[in-house]
Structure 1
Amino acid sequence: MSEGRLPLMQAALVVARRDIGAILFSRSFIFFLLAPLFPLVVGALAGGIGRQVSTEAAAPQIGIAMSAADGAAMLAARERIARQLSGGVPDMAIIQTVPPGESFDARATLAEKGGNLAAIVSGTPAAPVLTATAERGSMWRGVVGMIGAAALETEPAQFPPVAVQTVTTSGAAQMQDRLATAQAAQLLLFLLMMVLAGMVLSNLVEEKGNKIIEILAAAIPMDAVFLGKLFAMLAVSMVGIAVWTSTILLVLSLGGSGMPVLPTPAVGWPLFVAFGVLYFSAGYLLLGSIFLAIGSLATTVREVQTLSMPASMAQILLFFFASSTVNRIGQPVELIAVAFPLSSPFAMLSRAAQQDALWPHALALAWQAVCVAVFIRVGSRLFRTRVMKSGPQGAGRKRRGIFARLFRLRSGKAA
């Protein structure tokens, strides 16, 4: 570190304080707060993907818990009926083999099982017992009776009586509820990042035009300039989010309506909100550091717009990629979305809604923090080498050289 220069974090704090004050007390900040009124097109596209994901994930399954012979007969009967009816018959699978005469707790099994398991058929084909929610029980009672009659292979076919055990929820219903929360959280995270990340680029272009960035770079390390600007923009974004949230809550309270109730995420609402803040911060810093690097390559506002468009389009594609994996937790495509830095916040927030494990979030946040540090370092070096040729390495050296020559001339005259 050069003598007389501030340490990295202290210099970054100075830059952050300056930028926060300059932005919050400017008239343009009022217009910036109106920006979330416009990204409706992106919301409609994301809603289309969300409906597709829900359709793909909404294939409820009836589990079979019978003896091996009865279970095989029920599966074979289901296949025959499905071919005849060409639709409308739920999928079935053997989840447990129960020897004849042995008791089986279908309610507990349905509550414990995850995935798409929406009901369980136990007993025998002659006396099937359907365990499901009240809605699915009434909907599938006739189908189960039809399958039981086909499994018995009696002539003429007689539908056996189907007993229904009602439960309050099932693994499939819980999964669907949490899937809705995951999709809503991903969409909100994406819209906030796209609306707010542009501030970083506009602020950098403005300061490049009036040479403030060169003065800062000559006084403090370039890494500190980038770090300070990113955290300043993040703080301003948090202020904007607080204003928008307060406005929405005020309007809803004055209108006499409440917030739409989303299903409770797997980790619970307090942790889910905390993860939302952390993943927004990580995603914002990652995208902001890329925008800063783009600003280092541009010399005019037109170039900035041209170069930033591919980055914005790439972020939209990454969001759609992460959204398409929301119902594929643990599969290779979802693990790729988790590992790639720019899609990782979306994928991990979806995981928080659907799974209660906490250690993957610790690993993901640590990985995202490392990527933020790398992106900032690369962006600052790119800015220093491409833009600051007339800055700290160019004009700064010239100024120091001029001062040194003046000092030597004065020393010679004094001698």
Structure 2
Amino acid sequence: MGSARLQAIWVIARRDFVAVVFSRAFIFFLLGPLFPIIIGFFAGAVGASVQHDLDKAVIGVAMPAQQGERLVAARNAMIDHMAGNVPDMQVIADIAPGSAFDPRAVLKKRQMSAVVTGTLDAPVITGTQGKVDDWSGMIAMFAGRARSDHPDQYPEIRADVVATSAAHEHSGQVVTAQAGQLLLFLLTMLLAGMVLSNLVEEKANKIIEVLAASIPLDALFMGKLFAMLGVSMVGVMVWGSGYGMMVLAGARHIPLLATPAVGWPLFLALGFAYFAMAYLLLGSMFLTIGGMANTVREVQTLSMPATMMQLVVFFLASFALARPNTWIEKLAEVFPISSPYAMLAHAAEHPSLMPHVLALGWQALCVAVMVRGGAAIFRRNVMKSGGGKKAKRAKLAEAAA
């Protein structure tokens, strides 16, 4: 690509970017999605408060010789002097010496977060790794208080960790993949329409024909695509900053997703890259539609199949999550329109990076091809609508000469 073509792309991109970002309408466009986010924040806060009251953590205690009652009494005596959310403790069994007791079975059958067994001198806490890490020190303090002979000495806690299975970890990564696909789809559908509206407006005002006569059409299309992509990135950063401010303000009720296979930093970077590719692919389709349409009604008619196809490919990528290592997954990863969604899910489930390098290269190639095709269609329509009689007269004059 020559320097003149790159210069033309930069001029068009800068022109459209500045015209959109520094307009009053864009400010209201940015504020629009923030209102449902704010309402969802307060609704989630209320729901989290109710859920917290319903799902308050309970620790079961099963110790011999009424030691469990003494541990619970120590907890009740110290709770007023403790900060934070202290779980409830409930005696579930008074174990006779030598009798068998399976705390893991209790965790499977009863709504309890952990079970404390053993004795006050050697407590054993059974639970997930997170619960064990959070509550071991607290249980040691309660057990030290409950012992009458050494109330100021904390016993050593032995942990019986209920390990998270590989299936559970993969299930969490699948949820992360689904969340990433949904967010990518919503952002793309929300923002990609700006390309079409911008082109239709300039086409109606005949501005696009003046620009087409000055610079190559594919450079014009590419400049518009990157301008609207830059505008979209501004919107994503503003909305992401608003989300971050809510988290810092205390929105702890927002659910945490499982860590993707490639890690959060790389997953977010790939998310931005695949959003850019999904936007450019859909935007190039909309530019092609704008090139074929002459009126707003035609734009609405022609854009409907593209919107429906976007829904279909989104469902294809989502369905491919449930069919790993099959031709459906390969089709979703290779088909250009669905590739960004499928590959983002791939990043959540698989740690390998080379497939993403190949996928981004393939998607960039498809963007270039679609822009060239859209420019060719638009060039034909512009020549057809830009005064065909003048072109015929020029040809007749050349033939006569």
Q: Determine if the TM-score, normalized by the shorter chain, exceeds 0.5.
A: yes
Please name the residue that 1:122 is paired with. none
Query: Is the CA contact 1:39–1:191 (under 8 Å) kept in the aligned structure 2?
Result: no
Distance 1:190 1:306, change over 3 A: same
**What is the distance in 2 between the residues matched to 1:136 and 1:395?**
87
Letter of the 2:365 partner, please give it. Answer: V
Q: Aligned residue for 2:8?
A: 11
TM-score, structure 1 normalization: 0.63
Letter in 2 for 1:139: K
Give the C-alpha shift of residue 389 in structure 1.
2.8
Q: One-letter code of the match for 1:326? A: L
Superposed, 1:84-163 pairs within 5 Å as: 138-139=107-108
Out of 354, 368, 389, the residue aligned to residue 373 of structure 1 is 368
- Please give the secondary structure, in 2, of the residue aligned with 1:385: helix
Using the alignment, how far apart are the partners of 2:105 and 2:196 within structure 1? Answer: 52
Alignment of 1:26 with 2:20, yes or no, is no
1:212 is matched with 207
Alpha-carbon separation, structure 2, partners of 1:39 and 1:303: 32
Q: Is the 8 A contact 2:218 2:371 kept in 1?
A: yes
| Partners of 1:390 and 1:396 within 8 A in 2 | no
Q: Specify the alignment match of 1:272 in structure 2.
A: 267
Are 1:355 and 2:350 an aligned pair? yes
**Contact preservation (8 Å) 1:186, 1:350:** yes
Q: Which residue of 2 aligns with 1:146?
A: none
Q: Is the 8 A contact 1:36 1:195 kept in 2?
A: no
Is the partner of 1:260 in helix, strand or coil? coil
Tell me if 1:230 matches 2:225: yes
State yes or no: 1:193 paired with 2:188. Answer: yes
Per-residue deviation, 1:258:
6.5
Compared with structure 1, are the counterparts of its residues 236 and 376 closer, same or farther at alpha carbon in structure 2 (3 Å cutoff)? Answer: same
Residues 243-282 of structure 1: pairs in structure 2 closer than 5 A: 243-255=238-250, 257=252, 259-282=254-277
- 1:339 aligned to 306, 324, 334, which one? 334
Shift of 1:31: 2.8
Q: Which runs of 5+ in 2 are unaligned?
A: 38-101, 110-159
* Cα separation, partners in 2 of 1:233 and 1:350, compared to 1, 3 Å: same
Rate the CA distance shift 1:12–1:170 in 2: closer, same or farther, 3 A: same
Decide whether the 8 Å contact of 1:328 with 1:334 is kept in 2: yes
Structure 1 counterpart SS, 2:337: coil
The alpha-carbon distance between structure 1 residues 215 and 394, as it changes in their structure 2 partners (threshold 3 A), is farther
- The 3 A distance-change label for structure 1 pair 166 and 246 is closer
User: Per-residue deviation at 1:248?
Assistant: 2.0
Task: Identify if the C-alpha distance between structure 1 residues 225 and 10 changes in structure 2 by more than 3 Å, giving closer, same or farther.
Answer: same
Q: Provide the secondary structure at the position in 2 that maps to 1:292.
A: helix
| Residue number among 308, 312, 328 corresponding to 1:317 in the alignment | 312
Change (3 A) 1:31 1:135: farther
Q: How much does 1:327 deviate?
A: 2.9
Paired residue for 1:239? 234
The answer for unaligned runs of 5 or more in structure 1 is 41-129, 141-164, 409-415
After superposition, the Cα gap between the structure-2 partners of 1:371 and 1:334, relative to the gap in structure 1 and judged at 3 Å, is same
Inter-partner Cα distance in structure 1 for 2:185 and 2:16: 24
In structure 2, how many angstroms separate the alpha carbons of the residues matched to 1:135 and 1:208?
Answer: 69
Secondary structure, aligned partner of 2:195: helix
Aligned residues: 289
> Residue 189 of structure 1 aligns to which amino acid in structure 2?
L
Aligned-pair CA distance for 1:400: 9.1
Query: Is contact 1:208–1:214 with CA below 8 Å preserved after alignment?
Result: yes
Secondary structure at the residue paired with 2:192? helix
Aligned-partner SS, 1:371 = helix
Separation (CA, whole Å) in 2 of partners of 1:37 and 1:309 = 27
- Mapped partners of 1:235, 1:396: distance in 2: 38
Aligned equivalents of 1:242 and 1:399: distance in 2? 53
Q: 1:130-160, CA deviations, whole angstroms, 9 ceiling, x for partnerless residues?
A: 9xxx8789539xxxxxxxxxxxxxxxxxxxx
SS class of match (2:321): coil
Structure 1 runs, 4 residues or longer, greater than 4 Å off: 37-40, 134-138, 393-401
User: 5 Å matches for 1:395-410?
Assistant: none
> Closer, same or farther in 2 for the Cα pair 1:299/1:357, shift >3 Å?
same
CA RMSD of aligned residues (A): 3.4
Q: Which amino acid aligns with 2:316?
A: F
Q: Give SS of 2:314's match.
A: helix
The match for 2:61 is: none
Change (3 A) 1:396 1:12: farther
SS state at 2:345 partner: helix
Structure 1 contact 137–166 (Cα < 8 Å) conserved: no
